[in-house]
Structure 1
Amino acid sequence: MKETHTAALWESLIRIVKAEVKPALGCTEPVSLALAAATAKAHLQGKVQHLQAWVSPNLMKNGMGVNIPGAGMSGLPVAAALGALCGDEKAGLEVLKNVTQDDVAEATRWMKQKQVRVGIDPDCHEVLYARVRVWNDAHHAEVIIAGDHTHIISIEQDGKTLFRDDNRTMEAEPVSLPDFFRNVSIRDIFQFSEQAAFSDIAFILDAAVLNNRLSEEGLRHPWGLHIGASLERQRAKNLIGNDLLSNLLIRTVAASDARMGGAPLPAMSNSGSGNQGIAATMPVVVAAEFTGADQEKLARSLILSHLVAIYIHSKLPTLSALCAVSTASMGSAAGIAWLLGGDLDTISMAINSMVGDVSGIICDGAANSCAMKVSTGAASALKAVLMALDSTAVTGREGIVCDDVEDSINNLCSLARNAMQHTDKQIITMMIEKSV
């Protein structure tokens, strides 16, 4: 009976990783809006002449300041226009993969002529929500995405409902992630990562390929804040060392530089976020190279990292005032700890220390500065692992940390779900007032 349960659990874990770890081109909130626009375009009779979009406050927060891949511009109107002009509605989070400079020029013209309007839906109670209506003369089409970046819940054409998902159920998830992970522990994830057949988890190596490619791009060109390239130049001046920590920081943050700066390359995302995918991937990749790990050890450490990140994120709101890069970095701490010879206790100690270290990082919208938070999470992960390997960690006598790592995680996520909701509203108000 136990073997049957384990087999079913492992099969579910593989399915969840494949659903939650996938390529995404650009920041996923504006991309979600672009996907809604592209899908609406596909159901409109004739070419789109103008559009209007309504989004949730949190989607507005994460789309105001982020660069759109291939556009050289930032903001939700750009994403919506490009989605309606050239978006591939069948490409999911890679909806903008076919953007050309002609498309960018046309999108710019649309915005100058006020053919694109994007605002907050005052009646929206969803955390992640995008509604796009496109027009051509007397014809119109409307698409709503809600709950998940690619989850279409409604399609209308000229006032006729073509599709509606009133239950808001995820097509690929008969059981919600919060419900599923309620009966799963870090121990279960650890055992799966160590014991699953390599052939069953080898697909996760694609995360290393995609995100390392982004990292190389971030070091070659001045994307975003070009933090990785700056640190590399300072290392050449001997202002920082050439060691595991500096390599881990430089290569991880360079990937985020490229992604947030608008590089036309996909990131392998985690839980709907490219930065979370980078945070769960690149520190582990660098640690694997440092230890001389083969492809199987890299795959096991990556599957451990990504699953821990998904597990913790399942306890959080889809979007909140807590920067989820910090929790994704707890996944990388698990992967690094295992690569450096640590066991389940080492991983638990490291995560506890990170809860005591980076739990206060707020999300103030997607922007180039997200790369700073990615670097902070990566540094915290390695620091916490090195402490744990030396048998020291933040203890259950301190702050919100508990002796049991599961309780520490639950405390952190409870803050994000409850107390930080007011913080989130205040952040959004500040950002909108600043932009007026």
Structure 2
Amino acid sequence: MNQEYYLQQLEEELVIALGCTEPVSVAFAAALARKEAGYDDPVESIELQASVNIYKNAMSVFIPGTNDMGAAMAAALGAVGGDPSLDLQVLQSIGEEDIVTARKLCAEGKVSLDLAPRGAPSLYIDVTVRTKDHCGRAVVAWKHDLVMELERDGVQTFLNDTSQVQELTDSITVDDLRDIWDFATTVDVDKLDLVRQTIELNDKIAVEGMLGSYGLEVGRSIAKACRGGKDVPDVECCSLSDYCAAWTAAATDARMVGVSLPVMSNSGSGNQGLTATIPVLSAARFLG
């Protein structure tokens, strides 16, 4: 069992994300394309090609810091005010002026949407940003933050080595459950700072989701049901399974309506990150 291999897997798969990863990855690609086009002139138009799942998952969740949904708005925000150096926290830096500008681009039909070309990966985002004098393009595929290609004015400035994609596929097939168990039970906890950070981030949004009224309030509803349907949620009355479910659902409630709190995503999914950590943390607290 190679501990360094699994520590590297944690580093690669645990990524901080602000908002639902599908619209955020669109914003990330758009911000990269804008960087290629340059910042001297304002954005004139945006062209987005994406896989079906990207559009589906982006259409009904709020973008952090806004009351807006959809891939078009995510692309516009990323192009107008996104910071690509922040990866999946790309929209952390947007302000009210950026939101107004992005809405205007969408309202004026300056953001075009199209499906990814036939044969593209199931996760595929291709964004072209045009300014007065320049054009930038970015392609993100396979993973929400895996940059495959960059262009400026039709000239390729970056092309990813496709061996990264093969390594990603191979790692899924070579992992052994016994090795994973041995790693989990023998690794020096001092090497797991990233896991500690995961617990802190994901726990914070779970608490926010339980205290506030967000979305369908699934988490709060479970906690209320534990008190016989009373108006005030009380997780202390819950069984172990309901306790874990309530906190996990509360975190998802808050995240999917665009609460401006980051989560630690797992394998490209914020909700997977929550479901991989909040039930375990909740069970530990419940059992003392």
Instruction: Give me the TM-score of the superposition, normalised by structure 2.
Output: 0.91
Q: CA deviation at 1:100?
A: 2.0
Query: Residue 183 in 1 paired to residue 180 in 2?
Result: no
Q: Which of residues 214, 223, 237 is equivalent to 2:205?
A: 214
- Structure 2 gap segments, 5+ residues each: none
Give per-residue Cα distances to partners, 1:230-260, cap 9 Å, x unaligned: 2223333467942322221111100000111
Q: Which is greater in Rg? A: 1
What is the 5 A alignment of 1:84-233?
84-165=79-160, 167-170=161-164, 176-233=167-224
1:32 maps to what in 2?
A: 25
* Alpha-carbon RMSD: 1.9
Distance in 2 (CA, whole Å) between partners of 1:83 and 1:205 is: 30
Counterpart of 1:41, as a letter, is R
2:9 maps to what in 1?
A: 16
What is the 5 A alignment of 1:5-84?
6=1, 9-45=2-38, 46=40, 47-84=42-79
Query: Residue 37 of structure 2 aligns to a residue in which SS?
Result: coil
Distance in 2 (CA, whole Å) between partners of 1:70 and 1:138 is: 31
Q: CA deviation at 1:105?
A: 1.8
1:432 maps to what in 2?
A: none
Counterpart of 1:223, as a letter, is Y
Counterpart of 1:283, as a letter, is P
Give per-residue Cα distances to partners, 1:267-318, cap 9 Å, x unaligned: 11100000000000000001111233xxxxxxxxxxxxxxxxxxxxxxxxxx
- Structure 1 gap segments, 5+ residues each: 1-5, 293-436
Counterpart of 1:252, as a letter, is T
Give per-residue Cα distances to partners, 1:370-419, cap 9 Å, x unaligned: xxxxxxxxxxxxxxxxxxxxxxxxxxxxxxxxxxxxxxxxxxxxxxxxxx
Query: Residue 254 of structure 1 aligns to a residue in which SS?
Result: helix
Distance in 2 (CA, whole Å) between partners of 1:110 and 1:238 is: 46
Query: Residue 118 of structure 2 aligns to a residue in which SS?
Result: coil
Structure 1 or 2: larger strand share? 2
Residues 147 and 168 of structure 1 are in contact (CA less than 8 Å); yes or no, is this contact kept in structure 2? no
Distance in 2 (CA, whole Å) between partners of 1:131 and 1:192 is: 38
Query: Residue 93 of structure 2 aligns to a residue in which SS?
Result: coil
Q: Percent identity?
A: 34
Q: Which of residues 267, 273, 278 is equivalent to 1:271?
A: 267
Q: CA deviation at 1:37?
A: 0.5
Q: 1 or 2 for the larger relative contact order (CA 8 Å, sep ≥6)?
A: 2
Distance in 2 (CA, whole Å) between partners of 1:128 and 1:267 is: 20
Query: Residue 79 of structure 2 aligns to a residue in which SS?
Result: helix
1:419 maps to what in 2?
A: none
Q: CA deviation at 1:202?
A: 3.8
Distance in 1 (CA, whole Å) between partners of 2:79 and 2:69 is: 16
Distance in 1 (CA, whole Å) between partners of 2:119 and 2:175 is: 32
Distance in 1 (CA, whole Å) between partners of 2:162 and 2:214 is: 37
Q: CA deviation at 1:124?
A: 4.7
Q: CA deviation at 1:206?
A: 1.1
Query: Residue 234 in 1 paired to residue 234 in 2?
Result: no
Counterpart of 2:162, as a letter, is R
Distance in 1 (CA, whole Å) between partners of 2:107 and 2:146 is: 31
How many pairs are equivalent?
281
Q: CA deviation at 1:211?
A: 0.7
Q: CA deviation at 1:181?
A: 4.3
Distance in 2 (CA, whole Å) between partners of 1:105 and 1:231 is: 37
